[in-house]
Amino acid sequence: MALLAPGLDPRSLLGPALFWLFLLPLPLTAGGGGQGPLPRVIYHAGDGRRGLSLFHQKGLQDFDTLLLSRDGGTLYVGAREAILALDIQDPGMPKLKNMIPWPATERKKSECTFKKKSNETQCFNFIRVLEALNATHLYACGTFAFSPACTFVELQDSYLMPISEDKVVEGKGQSPFDPAHKHTAVLADGMLYSGTMNNFLGSEPILIRTLGPQPVLKTDNFLRWLQPDASFVAAIPSTHFVYFFFEETASEFEFFEKLHTSRVARVCKNDVGGDKLLQKKWTTFLKAQLLCAQPGQLPFNVIRHAVLLPATASADARVYATFSSQWQVGGTRSSAVCAFSLKDFKRVFEGKYKELNKETSRWTTYGVPEISPRPGSCSVGPSSDKALTFMKDHFLMDEQVVGTPVLVKSGVEYTRLAVETVQGVDGHSHLVLYLGTTTGSLHKAVRSGDSTVRLVEEIQVFPEPEPVRNLLLAPAQGAVFAGSSGGIWRVPRANCSVYESCVDCVLARDPHCAWDPESRACRLLPTPIPKSWRQDMEHGNPQFACATGPMGRSRQPQSRPEIIKEVMAVPNSIVELPCPHLSALASYLWTHGRARAAVAEASAAVYNGSLVLLLQDGAGGLYQCWASENGFSYPVVSYWVRSQDQPLALDPELAGIPRERVEAPLTRVGGGAALAAQRSYWPHFLTVTVLLALLLCGALLLLLASPLGALRARGKVQGCGTPPPGEKAPLSRKQHLQPPTDRRTSASDVDADNNRLGPEVA
């Protein structure tokens, strides 16, 4: 992330540079932020290994708002002009319990169109608030064709009762006017705290408390507690406070361009507003800057979403938030997840203030006031006029709340997140983050202890790229629900069966999965946790976790294959031995014979991970594809290749290993079957030559198609031309097959389509 990287306008650098100089005495280093962690496994849309189910219904769209029932068995969904109750108790597709329409009235719709809003995309009732008020009622608000409205929805046995029009009330401040505007709302102690835009134009943000017995309180618009572009993303209640997370233009820094900043604001739940001063206004509103940045780098200054991970016996409560940046460095967007401790919020909100000097329009630091109780603290009893006067102008804290970067990843923008802790076999808690992206995929990120975050998997949930609008973790169902424009997707937290061996199960380091030695399967960890199950979250080392026998007697559980695939082939034919690449974090290597020698250079090439083998004299025997991951090597697949003409004696060392006869996987190059039928040597030999040349040139062309490959292959290519048909050139080993000494492919050699085009074909 060099500061003068191409794609970054030098003018736009001034802002951030000054910003940084202003904030921290850190040098502006040109350190590279890097790619961030790679997902170990990527599932494309529709991959059967990650079976997802979709609820959708004709005529319904924009499944934006999600609410889980108290018993966790029903999912309430706010869509466009309708509220749904879905039964999610059974795995598989959520079942519709019932649906109640809640359209904006025709009058509101025509007013909306009259005000030049679209009757096709905007003048509808988009549900924005859906909260459980009590055991019998939900509270719902929607944009109602640019005229926000709210209503109570009665529940009977978690079925939704129809909304009668006379129960619909005005919802200004609770729902935005414009479906494109951000909003947040949370119900705490029977009161609704919401943050959104309070006018048609979307220029007047508000943070308001409604419902319940306490007076309605608002932010003061005139005092500019919020910038006109404040955009709310989350609200989190605690015992005494409600925290709001939002983004707005920073007024405290003066720069050439609009500088975004992320904020946390705090109000007291027991605030009752002022008497003479600050009537019906918050008397406890305070806000502070949130900082999510890697040392010496541009901050991630745009908050996208925030969630609370409540305190546990061993850890304090934390807020996890996703951020993106206002600046695109090198043309790619990047994202960060930062963790904030509630203790830091408390400390900052109890520290110094910033004060605007009205003459110079500059913000200066103001110390702690000598007013007791301290203004803005949740003290009971009426506040003095002095304290209220102070609060009117001192709402911005001097210090910023600094977050700890948990995950930084470029090339991706996270829109929503859900978080949980999962207990592993070792009894430790592991942090799991589910992150939805702007392109409709989901990242499962895991952190054990203070180690770096790993991406266990990436799942493309939506078939078409569109942002994940909402994400809800339903722990009782073991699933994450994601809302899109077309429906609700259910994503099981894990599918442990995709890890077919103990080694893969342990290397995956998914805290939900462990190897059950009894059933010899990677399975979802039940409660109570069976102590005999194998997992190594901390190191991901299968050497010990998968060792068999008492105290891991066999220290190399991996070197002996579990099954050998027997391949019978015609001499001088070409066979292709596939090797499934289970992990993007592993590097792969083919060996021949038990001595684990690299495959003979002259008779083989690795193409797309598969070994393409010319079966000549002495080329039979054991072929193994080894994966190296996390410092551990194991055979992914083992083949015993033998030719029909020269039967090979079975290696005594391999006795006892189960064998499975597989069809000679002749290379997919056409004419394979005909080739096998050939008996005469010369035509056969010729065909092989031509086929090999074609294969190699095809591979080279593919290699050359990528600029990187072109660089690598430059200078090595000469000599490869399709031999003219009929040319009786003897098969020159050197010319046609010249694998380099290093046959490894690694994650870095994987192109965008996950085709492995390593340096092996040269």
Which residue stretch of 48-56, 356-364, 540-548, 635-643 sits at the interface with ligand NAG (rule: CB under 6 A)?
48-56
Q: Is 135 in the site for ligand NAG (CB under 6 A)?
A: yes
- In the complex with ligand NAG, the residue whose CB is nearer, 212 or 237, is 212
Q: What is the dihedral angle through the alpha carbons of 72, 76, 77, 82, rounded to the nearest 10 degrees?
A: 170
Q: Is 48 in the site for ligand NAG (CB under 6 A)?
A: yes
Q: Is 136 in the site for ligand NAG (CB under 6 A)?
A: yes
- In the complex with ligand NAG, the residue whose CB is nearer, 73 or 578, is 578
Return d(Cα 238, Cα 317) in angstroms, integer: 10
Return d(Cα 315, Cα 308) in angstroms, integer: 13
Return d(Cα 92, Cα 26) in angstroms, integer: 52
Q: Regarding beta strands 396-402 and 286-291, do their DSSP bridges make them parallel or antiparallel, or are they unpaired?
A: parallel
User: Are the CB atoms for 545 and 506 separated by under 8 Å?
Assistant: yes
Which residue stretch of 43-51, 335-343, 418-426, 433-441 sits at the interface with ligand NAG (rule: CB under 6 A)?
43-51
- In the complex with ligand NAG, the residue whose CB is nearer, 48 or 658, is 48
Q: Is 119 in the site for ligand NAG (CB under 6 A)?
A: yes
Give the interface size with ligand NAG as a residue count (CB under 6 A).
Answer: 20
**Which x/- pattern over 198-237 shows residues binding ligand NAG (rule: CB under 6 A)?**
----------------------------------------
The one among 19, 20, 152, 640 contacting ligand NAG by CB under 6 A:
152
- In the complex with ligand NAG, the residue whose CB is nearer, 107 or 347, is 107
Return d(Cα 174, Cα 195) in angstroms, integer: 7
The one among 137, 333, 560, 712 contacting ligand NAG by CB under 6 A:
137
Q: Is 49 in the site for ligand NAG (CB under 6 A)?
A: yes
- In the complex with ligand NAG, the residue whose CB is nearer, 135 or 677, is 135
Q: Please state, as a whole number, how many other Cβ atoms lie within 10 Å of the Cβ of residue 320.
A: 22
Of 353, 360, 408, the closest CA to residue 376 belongs to 353
- In the complex with ligand NAG, the residue whose CB is nearer, 2 or 708, is 708
**Which x/- pattern over 672-711 shows residues binding ligand NAG (rule: CB under 6 A)?**
----------------------------------------
Name the minimum Å distance from CB 21 to ligand NAG: 50
Residue 448, token pair as written in the block = 């054990």
Residue 597, token pair as written in the block = 């020698």
Q: Is 121 in the site for ligand NAG (CB under 6 A)?
A: no
Scan for tokens 């890890």, then name that residue: 499
Q: Is 134 in the site for ligand NAG (CB under 6 A)?
A: yes
- In the complex with ligand NAG, the residue whose CB is nearer, 164 or 360, is 164
The H-or-E segment that residue 392 falls in is helix 385-393
- In the complex with ligand NAG, the residue whose CB is nearer, 249 or 497, is 497
Residue 358, token pair as written in the block = 């009205």
Return d(Cα 306, Cα 321) in angstroms, integer: 4
Radius of gyration of the chain (CA): 32
Q: Is 498 in the site for ligand NAG (CB under 6 A)?
A: yes
Name the minimum Å distance from CB 663 to ligand NAG: 16
Q: Is 51 in the site for ligand NAG (CB under 6 A)?
A: yes
Q: Is 448 in the site for ligand NAG (CB under 6 A)?
A: no
- Kindly give, in sequence order, each residue whose CB lies less than 8 Å from that of residue 550, ignoring residues fewer than 6 positions away: none
Identity of the residue numbered 559: S
Name the minimum Å distance from CB 125 to ligand NAG: 14
Name the minimum Å distance from CB 3 to ligand NAG: 39
Which residue stretch of 128-136, 201-209, 614-622, 630-638 sits at the interface with ligand NAG (rule: CB under 6 A)?
128-136
Name the minimum Å distance from CB 498 to ligand NAG: 5
Identity of the residue numbered 706: S
Name the minimum Å distance from CB 473 to ligand NAG: 17
Scan for tokens 């086929």, then name that residue: 691
Q: Is 578 in the site for ligand NAG (CB under 6 A)?
A: yes
Q: Regarding beta strands 632-643 and 564-569, do their DSSP bridges make them parallel or antiparallel, or are they unpaired?
A: parallel
How would you list the strands of the sheet with 470-474, edge to edge?
Answer: 53-55, 488-492, 479-483, 470-474
Q: Is 24 in the site for ligand NAG (CB under 6 A)?
A: no
Name the minimum Å distance from CB 10 to ligand NAG: 42
- Nearest residue to ligand NAG, by Cβ distance, number only: 51
Scan for tokens 């705490």, then name that residue: 188
Name the minimum Å distance from CB 75 to ligand NAG: 19
Q: Is 145 in the site for ligand NAG (CB under 6 A)?
A: no
The SS3 call for residue 345 is helix
Phi and psi torsions of 191, nearest 5°:
-120, 145
Scan for tokens 């015992």, then name that residue: 239
Residue 464, token pair as written in the block = 């078409």
- In the complex with ligand NAG, the residue whose CB is nearer, 348 or 491, is 491
User: Are the CB atoms for 483 and 470 separated by under 8 Å?
Assistant: yes
User: Are the CB atoms for 700 and 566 separated by under 8 Å?
Assistant: no
- Kindly give, in sequence order, each residue whose CB lies less than 8 Å from that of residue 116, ignoring residues fewer than 6 positions away: none
- In the complex with ligand NAG, the residue whose CB is nearer, 498 or 606, is 498
Phi and psi torsions of 304, nearest 5°:
-115, -35
Tell me how far the alpha carbon of residue 306 is from its chain's centroid: 14
Name the minimum Å distance from CB 756 to ligand NAG: 7
Which residue stretch of 35-43, 132-140, 317-325, 671-679 sits at the interface with ligand NAG (rule: CB under 6 A)?
132-140
The one among 495, 535, 587, 667 contacting ligand NAG by CB under 6 A:
495
Name the minimum Å distance from CB 617 to ligand NAG: 28
Name the minimum Å distance from CB 47 to ligand NAG: 9
Q: Please state, as a whole number, how many other Cβ atoms lie within 10 Å of the Cβ of residue 275.
A: 12
The SS3 call for residue 8 is coil
- In the complex with ligand NAG, the residue whose CB is nearer, 424 or 609, is 609
Phi and psi torsions of 666, nearest 5°:
-60, 145
Name the minimum Å distance from CB 109 to ligand NAG: 8
Name the minimum Å distance from CB 712 to ligand NAG: 18
Name the minimum Å distance from CB 203 to ligand NAG: 27
Name the minimum Å distance from CB 577 to ligand NAG: 11
Which residue stretch of 219-227, 401-409, 493-501, 659-667 sits at the interface with ligand NAG (rule: CB under 6 A)?
493-501
Helix residue ranges per DSSP H, 487-629 = 502-508, 542-545
- Kindly give, in sequence order, each residue whose CB lies less than 8 Å from that of residue 478, ignoring residues fewer than 6 positions away: 492, 493, 494, 524
CA distances from 697 to 468, 574, 701, 735, 737 (A): 42, 16, 6, 12, 11
User: Are the CB atoms for 128 and 142 separated by under 8 Å?
Assistant: yes
Q: Three-state SS string across 56-93, please? A: CCCCCCCCCEEEECCCCCEEEEEEECEEEEEECCCCCC
**What residues numbered 602-631 form the site for ligand NAG, per CB under 6 A?**
608-609
Q: Is 110 in the site for ligand NAG (CB under 6 A)?
A: no
**What residues numbered 716-755 form the site for ligand NAG, per CB under 6 A?**
755
Name the minimum Å distance from CB 48 to ligand NAG: 5
Name the minimum Å distance from CB 72 to ligand NAG: 20
Of 385, 353, 363, the closest CA to residue 278 belongs to 385
Q: Is 120 in the site for ligand NAG (CB under 6 A)?
A: yes
- In the complex with ligand NAG, the residue whose CB is nearer, 237 or 578, is 578
Task: Please give the residue ranges that form the binding site for ligand NAG (CB under 6 A).
Answer: 48-51, 119-120, 133-137, 152, 492, 495, 497-498, 578, 608-609, 755
